[in-house]
Amino acid sequence: MASKNLDNTTTDNSSTKKVHNYPIKDVVSIPLEEIVNTLQGDLTNGLAEGSINKRIKTYGLNRYEEQKQKSVFLLLLEQLKSPIILLLVFASGASLYFKDWLEGFAIIGVIFITAALGFFMELQARKSMNQLKSMDVSLSKVWRDNALNEVPSERLMPGDILVLEAGDMVLADARLVEINQFEVDESPLTGESMPITKTLEPLDKDTSLADQTNMIFKGTSVIKGNAKAIIVGTALHTELGKITALVDNAKQVITPLEKKLQGLTTKLMWLTAIFAAIFIITGFLQGKELYLIIETAIALAVAAIPEGLPVVSTIALTYGMLRMAEKKVLIKKLASVETLGGINTIFTDKTGTLTENKIQVNNISFFDNTFKVENNTVGEADAKANQASLEKLLLISLLCNNAVVEKKEKKKDKQLGDPIEISLLNFVGLNNVNIPQIQQEYPRIAEEAFSSETKLMGTLHKKGDSNFVAVKGAIEAILQQCKSFYKQGKIVSLTEEDKNQFLQKAEEIQAQGTRVLGFAFNEANNIPHDNMVKELTFVGFIGFLDPPRLDISGALQSCRNAGIKVIMITGDHPATALNIAQTIRLSDTENVVITGKDLEGKPDKKKLFAATIFARVTPQQKLDMVTLYQKRGDIVAMTGDGINDAPALKKAEIGIAMGRRGTQVAIETAEMVLKNDSFKSIVVAIEQGRVIFQNIKRFLVYLLSCNLSEIVIVFLYGLLNFPFSVLPLQILFLNLVTDIFPALALGMGKGNKLIMSISPRNPKEPIVVKQDWINILVYASLLALPIIAVTWYCSDYLHMDAKICNNITFFSLAFSQLWHVFNLSSRKISFFKNEITENKFVWAALGLCIVIMLTFYWVNPLNKIIGLQKLDFTIWSIILITSWMPVVLVQLFKRVFKVIS
């Protein structure tokens, strides 16, 4: 069949992208023949392989553009954009200008070491993520040149005749041409747990996506039957592609840690500028040489900036990533590790995240008894009380079934077919039924397939000299065909009152979000094949539910204890969502449900913030809800595995994708991927995030107090016109050795075990709050003043050489900073037994620093580079006593004066 026109294509000269004007609109409503003609398709022979390249030029390949990664060069440049790095560049430039080559090149070396470490950490994170990405199924079956062929999915074209059967992935949008008991799992796209039964009839052009039963969509999967369909949309012109475009439009915010470190760096730069300005003015007034003034200003700049901060932050976060990986959590971006600790709202998808995404029998109802089923097994008391009816129900469930379940010892069980029928086979197998024997005794001789008109499925079996009919379907439809019902092994006449009683029970269970199927049978001689579903005896009905994950309740309780609100946001039915929420105790108060329709117009914000469930929502509405909470100031996490979750995953501070069931677009968009798809892993990740933030704050207080003590010493030495000072290279040595290793050890602590029992910190707070600054100022003063007093005494009263006083200052400062790590424990905890003294990395760091310092002290020319000389026993005694004085003073201020925490 030929059409007048294949397509209209325009090219934007400003871009390499083609803009394809697809000729078909309202594809669900127009006649099938018109679609075929417009796309130059052929329902009998399919497309000619020779025409595919031409169509590729017209429509483009069937693939959407992956989100572009930053180039390696840009990734490296990002490491150099830090204000700390820029200030070091200025310091190195000033040193080189005054021909202090050693100092200038030493600072340059520090710059490249810091940048290289950050670069390789980010590069490794990217490499790990690329290995994790799952790709779409690469092959599809299409009818071409009058033969069935397998072709790469990217070469699927509009007009192709797609051939599908149970177990296939759908890799393009298509209008159905032929169907046979055809059902599709559309949960990745719409969030609907239950399979969708497809039809061929044209629909109204305004039919919603979830109700377009004559269409199949890219990203969904076939779970029952087979079909042929003509492709009408590929790549960005699929429903998946539209959502991918929506993802690109969702602007992502930088993480709170990045914001806070930027703010902290700005404060440090202003502090440096103020001290430098004061000293420069004072130096000129004192008549000091320009070089001495500049050198001291550089020393102040180097002292003010914790050069180890980027390195320690990167390594601490990377170590957190490794601990996450052990818990089956992959973090794509370093700063996201800390952001987890500040989360106070989690939006979670239902299907596959809170539930198993595996349909199970939930309850059974007979005429005089209704009971729950746990783990697909009927309890002993219920089985005994309903023995005859239950046996008949199990028999019908087994016979009226087209699914295949094969148990394998070492491999994953093979399960193929409709999820409801798979759940029935599993149910039968777990309730003492000899399946092969029953199938042999009841050979099937005919079937009446399920249809949207009859809403029934029936199978006819030979049973000895008679026939047996097994029927399942919509309870209303089955009751219309029943003349009797089964009661305790007896067949009883079915009255209208009895029918109403069954229907009322079914409605009560359906109201809980459970899908209900009725079961009936007929046993007689010579039942006609073409009219088998008549004169039935009703047995009862089964309620099916996608069960919640077994570990979810404890994880949700941990979230409540931690002050984190968990909100279910799903495209599924409100009753189903509410039932799951109540089962897993999503909230410790009454769950408030809001539907997608309620979100239209201008809904009351108080109701929105009170809601714990958003049901029947669209991808755009998910995005809107995340944005709404962010505007309130919340730090939001969004979990999901479907394509429909992707826009909100990107918008949230933390997007969390499911690694097993997650679609490619969801995994690529998210900052965090759960390899085991367990919500419990989110709680573990949040706990680790809080520990990491606590560790970061601890080593920041440590670094800043050490650096501020250096500023105080350099500033006062210069202001008081001492004949000695601390050299810039010595300060750089302190910052990269005695600061960085203990700080790194603090960043690797295991944290407080009760950390998940406190509320999330205020996301608006800076990383270093008022009390932290008080602690830093007190620590810095108590570190610096004893050293200043001792060196002043040594210089003025003991008349020691300026170089000796410089060495006393250097070593006293170095050792006091090492011992200062023990001051970082809480005053409420023992000084000798706490999380600092029990941290093995702290002891390793102290040992390493002492070895490095002694190496630079003993080895030539290392000691000459940083201006060290041999010291006698008396000098070393002064150094050691001076270095321990700050520890004693800090403990007095903590436990006696209680000035610091």
pLDDT of residue 510: 82
* 628 pLDDT higher than 90: yes
Tell me what pLDDT residue 519 has. Answer: 98
Q: What percent of the chain has pLDDT over 70?
A: 86
Question: Which residues neighbour 546 within 8 Å (Cβ) at sequence distance 6 or greater?
Answer: 193, 351, 355, 356, 357, 358, 359, 360, 576, 580
pLDDT of 595-622, one tens digit each? 988 998 788 888 999 999 999 888 888 9
Does the pLDDT at position 637 exceed 90?
Answer: yes
E-assigned strand segments in 654-695 = 654-658, 672-674
More confident residue, 763 or 582: 582
Spatial distance between the Cα atoms of 667 and 129, rounded to a whole number of angstroms:
9
CATH superfamily for domain 360-545: Calcium-transporting ATPase, cytoplasmic domain N (3.40.1110.10)
**Token couple for 900:** 């610091």
Per-residue pLDDT tens over the stretch 155-195: 999 999 998 877 677 889 999 999 887 888 888 787 777 88
DSSP state of 701: H
The superfamily in CATH containing domain 337-356+549-684 is HAD superfamily/HAD-like (3.40.50.1000)
Residue 223: exposure state from Cβ atoms within 10 A (0-12, 13-18, ≥19): buried
Active site residues: 349
Residue whose entry in the numeric block shows the structure tokens 């099937």: 444
pTM, to two decimals: 0.65
247 pLDDT tier (thresholds 50, 70, 90) = low
Confirm whether 8-64+137-170+173-233 and 360-545 share one CATH topology. no
What average pLDDT score do residues 704-717 get? 87
DSSP 251: P
Give, for 362, the enclosing helix (H) or strand (E): strand 360-366
Q: How far apart are CA 228 and CA 268, in angstroms?
A: 67
Neighbour count for residue 164 (Cβ, 10 Å): 24
pLDDT category of residue 630 using cuts at 50, 70 and 90: very high
Average pLDDT over residues 672-682: 84
Q: Count the Cβ atoms, other than its own, within 10 Å of residue 871.
A: 16
Say whether pLDDT at 19 is over 50.
no
The position carrying tokens 């799952």 is 134
239-243, 562-566, 772-776, 791-795: least confident range: 239-243
Question: Residue 237 carries which DSSP code?
Answer: G
**pLDDT band at residue 129, thresholds of 50, 70 and 90?**
very low
For residues 471 and 519, the answer to whether their CB atoms sit within 8 Å is yes
Mean pLDDT score of the chain: 83
Per-residue pLDDT tens for 786-822?
Answer: 999 999 999 999 999 999 999 999 999 999 999 999 9
- Write down the domain spans for the chain: 8-64+137-170+173-233, 337-356+549-684, 360-545
Residue pLDDT, tens place only, 416-441: 677 788 899 999 988 888 999 999 99
pLDDT value of position 238 = 87
The domain defined by 8-64+137-170+173-233 carries CATH number 3.40.50.720: no
